[in-house]
Structure 1
Amino acid sequence: MPVAPFPLSVHEISRRVRAGAAAPLAAARASLAAIDEMDSVIRAWSHVVGPDALEAPEEGTGGRLAGVPIGVKDVIDVAGMPTGFGVPALTGGAARFDACCVGMLRAAGAVPVGKTVTAEFAFRTPGATRNPHALDHTPGGSSSGSAAAVAAGMVPAALGTQTGGSMIRPAAFCGVVGFKPGFGQVFRDGMKLTCESLDTIGWYSNTVEDAQAIAQVLIADDGDDNRASDRPLTIAVQLGNPNAALCPESQREIARACEAWRAQGVRCESVEAAAETGLLLRAHDVIMHYEFARSLMPVVARHGDCLSPVLRRAVAHGLAIGAGEYREMLAVQASLRHAWGPRYGGADLILTPSTPGPAPRGLSHTGDGVFNKIWSVLGWPCLHLPTAFNQAGLPIGMQLVGNWGDDRRLLAMGRKLHHLLTQQGE
């Protein structure tokens, strides 16, 4: 099916509403019409509000996101909508309150139009969502519905979450901008936590500019988006991973990006981090399974017959991990989280693959998060940039990683760098 972004950007929707040129619910109604037209094929939504149930923005026509329709991953509460965690048998009554992030977006004028499909408890067993660019290829996971809904043009933005690669991988496979903030930058109240030390709320959009607009609402302003520097922008290019090989298409696209940026005075310098990468992958595996098991243990005990064997085995595996090993890996996480200077010197950003390659064929899996997990355990902010399509019509791109606390600066630099590659004039 033809794929096109939502006809108006986040910025344009809010500008029109604030100027009185569009009704506060006009874009939300257009979103519902697009969902009605496309979702029987894409299957990105687990719950959609009826046109008569749309709630006008709290800030009327004055909010920063006035009138912007958004999707919300179905592990995050939205008042008046059910939260099902990707398990239909556990979907109950409507949530009484918005999650903090949803409440902040709503207070800025955004309009939640529904809940998007997630993998089972944001883990590995995929939901029904299909990739808008190739229906027989995975959209990624676990934030599959949110990424696909933005890619298919059903909404201009949607919330997702990441524990390992659940934001960046779907962004890469569906060809949209995906932003995973630094750990702890976005309040998680009202989200089903599965991993206390890893879970992070992020979002999808069609441009980095739109991702910035949402960040201006959800991430505290440090007033340091565009730190001036007399030296050229420096990017550390880290491609190696002991557990995966990067496909030739992605290698060529990253090489093209470096060539384009160097032509504009950007320094792109290759780095190797095999030892740290292997250790961080082990840390992620231990921390994730240990915390996931204890979070989901009560659910398995009470509703195990509703859950997949994959999830139940992961809980059993996590319960078998000793507290000593868990604390050891938490210490690794803490020690390396603030090691940007010793490891990357004066680099402003890291350029690294988002995935080993384009979206794999098949819907029974969500792809490999091996290029995402180390950044999740470090808690550094990540931004996926969609930059091209391969000969089969599947999206390819890359991710930029920022230092601890540099979320807004990552977005500001990422916007400029993305423009140099796409020339779309964000």
Structure 2
Amino acid sequence: MAAYDPRGFRAPTFHDATPRFRDGSDTPRAYLERCLEAIAAREPVVRAWVVLNQEGAREAADASTARWKAGRPLSPIDGMPIGIKDLLETRDMPTQMGCPAYRGNFPKRDNAAVWALRQAGAVVLGKTVTTELGGAHPGPTTNPFDQRRTPGGSSSGSAAAVAAGMVPAALGTQVGGSVIRPASYCGNFALKPSQGGINRGERQATSMSTTGIHAGSIEDMWQVAIEIARRAGGDPGRPPLTGPAAPPAARRPMVLGVMETEGWAALDDASRSVFEQVVEALRAQGVTVLRRGDHPLLAAFEDALIGMQAMTGAITAWENHWLFRNLVAQDPDAISARSKAVLAMAEAMTPEDYRLRLLQREEVRGRHAALAPVVEALIAPASPGPAPFWAGDVPGQPLKARPTGDAVFNTPSSGLGAPAVTVPLCAVDGMPMGIQVMAQPQMDAQATAIARWMAGAIAPVVVA
């Protein structure tokens, strides 16, 4: 596998193919066949897919080809091959959630976002690998740039499928860091929308779960997200993702803030170096970049982030409590030892413990809201360095706590319900490392516009 270099790497894109669909020099069916060729070439090592529906995809691509030929595409993503994380239901493929307890589970109905994609003419190609139940226990997927490393979790297959050139976009979900972090590890653009901005359909059980988009370009990322939201809306009681029908124009910010989080001290020297070079490049472009020592409200926000990873983990453990308990009651071996550890955490909590964690979360949200007049967005590493090595569990040895990587830089956006965008700007030791842009809730378009500007205006940073 070739080392990753953001100065030359190009993931598959779709938005720039549609003019050729209009003039007949290319077709959605031919585009799909190129995706299938890439899957055939790389899937034996990357292992991004649980199941493919090639026949159904070809039928959908042929229908899209006819619409483009007639000049009547259903949307700008009509004909786009897309992967669906195997936590989201699909009417034509099983939904097995990376968990033995759901092996063969086939509800034969579409998740709200999947339904919206079909309505927009997208080609639902297959189900991508997820970690067990979207948690910490990894699946078989490898990193497209180094098979010895993790692609991240829990949206492992979605991130890897895009980075390996198999599809231009894929759906993921995030509770802690499951969209933003794997995008960082795999060199993708990704959007984790404001909480509830994309209708989760059947997946309403946890308060921080959010459907997001992995893509090879920021244009495709936004277009997929907005086409879903325009059809399926947001979660019950939540405003849907809003913004322009086309990708937001790039916009240079005037003032950004750095979000260090409690993970800053553990960041390795090379990863810290590439981030600081990005900060200096922003300043060279005339952007004011504030650190925690530059403004008391930013310092107060950083102080509130201490302990946030543990707090959000406890909230999610409590909210998954009854699902995990019921699975174990049916079969003691239904879930992994890692998931059983989450169940044990929840069993040790009380409703009062959960209430206190929610109050803590609201306090951090208040401190984040107070930053709105101070900075237009916050920037941070999208992961604590490049993807870690992962060779699998060793029999007889303690389980590694975070085999798919540490979400310490991602739990803030999840706990705050704030939109975040990964920008693939950096490489460390031949592996991707993204920079994230996080805005205030409901400011997804602003985060995307700033991220798009950064992708065009800031030269990629590479550290050996």
TM-score (norm 2): 0.84
Give unmatched runs, 5+ long, in structure 2: 230-240, 293-298, 393-402
C-alpha change, 1:54 and 1:98, in structure 2 (3 Å) is: farther
Corresponding residue number in structure 2 for 1:198: 208
- The answer to whether the aligner puts 1:112 opposite 2:124 as a matched pair is yes
Match of 2:432 in 1: 395
Aligned counterpart for 1:359 among listed residues 379, 387, 395: 387
Deviation at 1:393, TM superposition (A): 1.0
- Equivalent residue in structure 2 for 1:175, among 187, 191, 196: 187
- Equivalent residue, structure 2, for 1:292: 320
Structure 1 residue 344, shift from structure 2 partner: 5.6
Cα distance change of structure 1 residues 186 and 299 upon mapping to structure 2, 3 Å threshold:
same
Instruction: Find the aligned partners of 1:52 and 1:359 in 2 and give their Cα distance.
Output: 34
Matching residue of 2:154? 142
Could you tell me which residue of structure 2 aligns to residue 280 of structure 1? 308
Matches within 5 A, 1:404-419: 404-419=441-456
Spell out, residue by residue over 1:4-33, the C-alpha distance to the aligned partner (whole angstroms, 9 max, x if none).
Answer: 6554x1212334334544333322222122
8 Å CA contact 1:338, 1:404 repeated in 2: no
1:342 Cα deviation after fit: 2.2
> What letter matches 1:396 in structure 2?
M
2:228 to 176, 193, 218: 218
User: 1:236·1:270 contact (CA, 8 Å) conserved in 2?
Assistant: yes
Q: How many residues align?
A: 418
Deviates more, 1:140-149 or 1:204-213: 204-213
Q: What is the match of residue 140 of structure 2?
A: 128
In structure 1, the gaps of 5 or more residues are none
- List, as ranges, runs of 4+ consecutive aligned residues in structure 1 with deviation greater than 6 Å: 224-229
CA RMSD of aligned residues (A): 2.5
In the other structure, the counterpart of 1:340 is 368
Alignment equivalent of 1:44, drawn from 30, 41, 48: 48
CA distance in 2, matches of 1:312, 1:288: 14
User: Which residue identity is paired with 2:113?
Assistant: C
CA contact (8 A) 1:71 1:115 kept: yes
The residue that corresponds to 2:87 in the other structure is 75
Report the alpha carbon displacement of residue 181 of structure 1 after superposing the two structures with TM: 0.7
Range 110-119 or range 204-213, more displaced: 204-213
Distance 1:243 1:252, change over 3 A: closer
Corresponding residue number in structure 2 for 1:35: 39
Distance, in Å, in 2 between the alignment partners of 1:281 and 1:204 is 23
Going from structure 1 to structure 2, the CA distance change for 1:257 and 1:282 (only over 3 Å counts) comes to same
Q: Distance in 2 between matches of 1:243 and 1:314?
A: 25
CA distance in 1, matches of 2:278, 2:144: 25
Aligned equivalents of 1:316, 1:344: Cα separation in 2? 38
If the length of structure 1 is used for normalisation, what is the TM-score? 0.91
Q: Partner of 1:156 in structure 2? A: 168
CA offset at residue 95 of structure 1? 3.6
| 2:254 paired with 1:233 | yes
Q: Distance in 1 between matches of 2:144 and 2:21?
A: 29
Secondary structure at the counterpart of residue 306 of structure 1:
coil
Deviation per residue, 1:269-297 (Å, 9 max, x gap): 11244420124334312211111222322
8 Å contact kept, 2:85–2:173: yes
Deviates more, 1:286-295 or 1:41-50: 286-295
Q: Decide whether the 8 Å contact of 1:294 with 1:319 is kept in 2.
A: no
